[in-house]
Amino acid sequence: MSRRPRRDRAAEAPRAPDAFHLAAPAARRPRPAFAMGGPEARETILDHAFRLLETNGVALLHPAAHAALKKAGATEGMQATRLRFPRALVAEALAATPKSARLAGRTPARDLELPRADGGFVMRTGTGAHGFLDVETQAFRNLQIADVATIARVANGLDQVGFIAHPFSYGVPELTSDIHGLGELVTHTDKHVWLQPYNVENVEYLVGIVEAAGSTRARPRASMIVCSFTPLEFKVMDVEALIQAGRAGLPVHACSLPSAGGTAPLSVAGNVLMAVTEILAMVTMGHVLAPGLPIIATPLMFTLDMATGQALHACPESLQAKALAVEVLNSLGLLTHTYGMGSDTPDSDRQSMAERAMLGQAVALAGADILGGVGQLQTATMFCPVQAVLDDELGAYLRALIQTPEVDEAEFNWEELKEIGISGHFLASDQTLALCRTQYRPQVFRRDRRDDYDKADRYSAWEAARDRARALIAADLPDGLPDDHARAEIARLRARADDEIAGAAKVSGRRAVV
């Protein structure tokens, strides 16, 4: 191709896809397929999961749910609380469970429709964290109730983050920390929120708060965590959360949190089998107790370090387990959600970035619809706003990575390529000018030359993320947040919960951190 004079052919920059904007129709292709196990492994895991539910079953401590499931076809197990689920009942539930879900925001512009039409994913912040790294000093401290607003402000401006979870907060009664955290969160964000009840008594308050904030069955402003109590048990709190979510139309994230070597076999396959079995049990319970409710399969796997007893979620074994579980559950047509960000290090450091990059890539390529854990450190026990900004950038990177490239003669630029001559180039090619603004363009990751980097006092991606976190915290809140009437109702529910739950200091639930 001969050299030619520059022409005014500036390409219009298309909007990059994010949690709320799909890739352009021309760029929508199936996500690259990565199989940790393959068809034979998937079939073997599912067969054993069905067998485990049919022969051993699960312990179910909620009397009304126990009776309803027996009426639907479950049979009594070896203990009074245990129920066996026939294969036909589980298969019926899988066939009936919705394969799509809407996670509604305050306005339709903040809605998340899953699965995404462009084959991509959405992200969510970490939940359950009780520690916080200060933006200015990076000093560690307990996460205070005022920090919930900070988390919301940061997450409001992170375009890859589709929804936000309330953390565990200090500065309020421990028994109602979830209620206070949610009350703060829904008054500071227009994004969808994620509910995690800490006690059975708290469930109705959490549902009441999101309904006061505008949640309806048609437009569920929140979705609910329902957890197994591994191995193969379900507490009253979680079953009640499933039932009340069904009444309110809140999609459910069916969370299984096995720890290999502790509450599940130490092997990757055994860990996956435990998670898949428990999630199939929750799908079955959802079909009977909340028919028609979207159930999102959420395998959140850990591995015990046999030298220290520490639970790890970013080690190779945990990454394999998450990717394989997502692969198996995707094969059933279920929506899937797992950790996509996070590390086992206590700081936002080089190890953290390495671990979360490996984790995000593994589960994104496995096909997860939701990548959780934005901002979390030390195995989901801390939240770091600077890390959250870095995770948002990493999410944009992963989103670009999983867009399968087109392969045809137009993409080859074949007509020009076949005529390329000596010292030819493609700088002025029509294709180059048409595509030059479609490349992934980072916001905080750096591409400086070394001289410029040194002149800028080695200003790196971490410093850029810190500055962006500062700006997001200082930014105005979005429009359309709950009005004075809704805020008053939320405040009333918080006060009543303190009187009736914290004041009585008597609960029957069991806290489970996700």
As beta bridge partners, residue 302 has 259
pTM of this prediction?
A: 0.94
**Residue that is written with structure tokens 């022409």 in the block:** 7
CB-based contact 354:308 (threshold 8 Å): no
Strand-strand pairing, 302-304 and 337-339 = unpaired
In terms of Cβ atoms closer than 10 Å to its own Cβ (0-12, 13-18, 19+), residue 19 is buried
For tokens 């919705």, what's the residue? Answer: 98
What is the distance between the alpha carbons of residues 371 and 367, in angstroms, rounded to a whole number?
10
CB 290 within 8 A of CB 97: no
Residuewise pLDDT in 10s, the chain (514 residues)? 444 444 555 556 778 999 999 998 877 888 888 899 999 999 999 999 999 999 999 999 999 999 999 999 999 999 999 999 999 999 999 999 999 999 999 999 999 999 999 999 999 999 888 999 999 999 999 999 999 999 999 999 999 999 999 999 999 999 999 999 999 999 999 999 999 999 999 999 999 999 999 999 999 999 999 999 999 999 999 999 999 999 999 999 999 999 999 999 999 999 999 999 999 999 999 999 999 999 999 999 999 999 999 999 999 999 999 999 999 999 999 999 999 999 999 999 999 999 999 999 999 999 999 999 999 999 999 999 999 999 999 999 999 999 999 999 999 999 999 999 999 999 999 999 999 999 999 999 999 999 999 999 999 999 999 999 999 999 999 999 999 999 999 999 999 999 999 988 765 544 433 3
Domains of the chain: 28-404+440-514 (3.20.20.480)
* Alpha carbon distance 514, 257 (integer Å): 8
What distance in Å separates the CA atoms of residue 41 and residue 52, rounded to the nearest whole number?
16
Could you count the other beta carbons within 10 Å of the beta carbon of residue 180? 22
What is d(CA 391, CA 465) in angstroms, rounded to the nearest whole number?
10
